């Protein structure tokens, strides 16, 4: 029986830049940073209070995973901000919003009251968007 | 609740400034008056507001930041004593006690574990990658690591 999720992938345009964003701006912790040879890297990070959830920062590169035109198409889709990979949670939305803005995170929506609660929207360095809500 | 529905933005900006001050100066000998001054509040008011937002008093948050930074530094070859003083503790015994309470490990045991893991990642990185991804990336076929 499935009990939990332990890996989830976010497709990024550049792993080094994504590291800078998720670790140094969002404050995520590095879970595994393994050089795989030939310039490849297995990099996973986790939100501070979820050490068992590995978020894989997956670079979009032509190879076995993305063949031919697929890599180019995927990169363009990410750049356009098509993908929203999930919803993050914080203790205080307004404080987190102010702090992330100071750190240079781009918000598409400032904290707004919706029928389901308060929400803000930000994008990562690649263009992926995320919802940010406040813990109930 | 009203305060949360209609936030006083300037209070949040001041509290964030105070939190970032702690984040950037944790290694120094800072005290609560310094931090409250950064936020332009009285000490009592500052502690109450900080705790409302961050669920920790400023002192508790400062300690937490120091322990987190210590955890990062203990993943290098730096000695426990060096780490203790680098992150702003002035007593090795206080640091050791606090660290153990937070992590259940002594700093040296934590360092040993982390350095062992680092070596293992370096020697056998595929052990840390789910097989489905390793195959799709072509790391299994092209593996030179001699794993079973």
What residue ranges do the domains of chain A occupy?
7-134
Counting other chains too, the contacts that A100-107 makes at CB distance below 8 Å and 24 or more residues apart are A100/A25, A100/A26, A102/B16, A102/B20, A103/A24, A103/A25, A104/A25, A105/A21, A105/A25, A105/A26
Kindly list the domain boundaries of chain B, sorted by start residue. 1-73, 75-142
Which residues 60-89 in chain A show a CB within 8 A of chain B?
63-65
Which of B120, B139, B145 to mutate to test binding with chain A, by most A CBs within 10 Å of its CB?
B139
Q: What are phi and psi of A132, to 5 degrees?
A: -125, 120
Closest CA to B26 of B57, B63, B1: B63
Closest CA to B8 of B42, B44, B52, B57: B52
Strand ranges (E), B92-148: none
Between chain A and chain B, how many beta carbons pairs sit less than 8 Å apart? 55
> In CATH, what is the architecture of A7-134?
Roll (3.10)
Tokens linked to A17: 């830049």
Whole-structure pTM value: 0.90
Contact: B121, A94; criterion CB under 8 Å: no
Please write the tens of the pLDDT for every residue from A60-90.
988 878 888 999 999 999 999 999 989 999 9
Identify the pLDDT of residue B39. Answer: 65
Q: Which residues of B touch A91 (CB under 8 A)?
A: 53-55
ipTM: 0.88
Contact: B129, A42; criterion CB under 8 Å: yes
Determine the Cα–Cα distance for residues B21 and A136; give it in Å rounded to an integer.
27
What distances in angstroms separate CA A112 from CA A76, A82, A129, B145, one per listed residue? 29, 21, 16, 51
Please write the tens of the pLDDT for every residue from A14-52.
999 999 999 999 999 999 999 998 889 999 999 999 999
Crossing angle of helices B43-54 and B9-25, in 10° steps, is: 90
Selecting from B9, B12, B137 the residue whose C-beta is nearest the C-beta of A65 gives B137
What distances in angstroms separate CA B121 from CA A31, A66, B38, B58, B60, one per listed residue? 11, 26, 43, 37, 34
Which of A26, A42, A56 to mutate to test binding with chain B, by most B CBs within 10 Å of its CB?
A42
Identify the pLDDT of residue B144. Answer: 53
Strands A7-12, A54-59: parallel, antiparallel or unpaired by DSSP? parallel
What's the residue count for chain A? 136
Contact: B139, A40; criterion CB under 8 Å: yes
Decide if domain B1-73 falls under CATH 1.10.10.
yes
Q: Supply the mean pLDDT for chain B.
A: 88
């Amino acid at each position: 029986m499935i009990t939990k999720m332990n890996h989830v992938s976010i497709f990024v345009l550049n792993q080094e830049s994504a590291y800078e964003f998720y670790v140094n701006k969002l404050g995520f912790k590095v879970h595994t940073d393994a050089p795989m040879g030939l310039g490849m890297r297995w990099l996973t990070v986790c939100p501070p209070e979820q050490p068992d959830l590995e978020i894989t920062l997956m670079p979009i590169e032509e190879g076995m995973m993305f063949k031919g035109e697929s890599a180019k198409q995927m990169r363009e889709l990410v750049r356009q901000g098509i993908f929203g990979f999930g919803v993050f949670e914080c203790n205080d939305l307004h404080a987190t919003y102010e702090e992330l803005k100071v750190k240079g995170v781009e918000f598409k929506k400032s904290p707004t009251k919706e029928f389901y609660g308060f929400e803000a929207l930000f994008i990562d360095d690649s263009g992926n968007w995320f919802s940010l809500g406040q813990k109930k | 609740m009203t305060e949360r529905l209609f936030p006083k933005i300037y209070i949040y900006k001041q509290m964030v400034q105070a939190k970032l001050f702690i984040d950037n100066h944790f290694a120094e000998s800072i005290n609560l008056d310094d931090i409250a001054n950064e936020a332009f509040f009285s000490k009592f008011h500052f502690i109450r507001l900080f705790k409302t937002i961050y669920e920790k008093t400023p002192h508790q948050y400062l300690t937490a930041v120091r322990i987190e930074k210590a955890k990062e530094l203990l993943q290098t070859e730096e000695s426990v004593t060096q780490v203790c003083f680098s992150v702003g503790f002035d007593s090795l015994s206080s640091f050791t006690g606090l660290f153990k309470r937070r992590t259940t490990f002594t700093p040296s045991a934590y360092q040993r574990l982390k350095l062992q893991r680092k070596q293992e990642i370096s020697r056998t990185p595929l052990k840390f990658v789910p097989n489905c991804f390793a195959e799709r990336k072509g790391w299994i076929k092209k593996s030179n690591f001699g794993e079973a």
